[in-house]
Amino acid sequence: MKLKNRLLVTIISIMMLPACSEVSIQSNRKEEDRMNNGNKDPHPYVGMWVTKDGFIRHELLPNGRYDEARGKRKSAYQGSYIIKQNHIEYVDDTGFTADGDFREGVLYHAGMVLYREK
């Protein structure tokens, strides 16, 4: 019985993904407008963030989307993000969530330390 319940929950979750993604994208568009205050200047954290060895690269795009590369694999993960003060929340296109914090010009995210690319 427990296996049937898990299967049912998984099926329902998968069926809801497109609707959740659409809501998230709409929400990010509103957040982008708020972050830019109607200006053409992007949020100060928009841009490329990389680990010291350059293996992980997060590109925070001005439209509230991100593209993460790992090693030679471009676009390993993509999704949306929202920045509130110095905190960032990510939702990738599969629904996986993560977060991080900007402190003194450094992004601390999921056990990684990323620096703004120069």
CA dist list (Å): 76 to 3, 25, 55, 82, 117: 31, 19, 12, 19, 19
Q: Which fold has domain 2-116?
A: Lipocalin (2.40.128)
Beta bridge partners of 50: 57, 115
- Predicted pLDDT at 39: 52
**pLDDT tens track for 37-93:** 455 678 999 999 999 999 999 999 999 999 999 999 999 999 999 999 999 999 999
Residue ranges of domains in the chain = 2-116
Encode pLDDT of 11-36 as tens digits: 444 444 444 444 444 445 555 444 44
pLDDT value at residue 84: 96
4 against 117, higher pLDDT: 117
3-state SS class at 96: coil
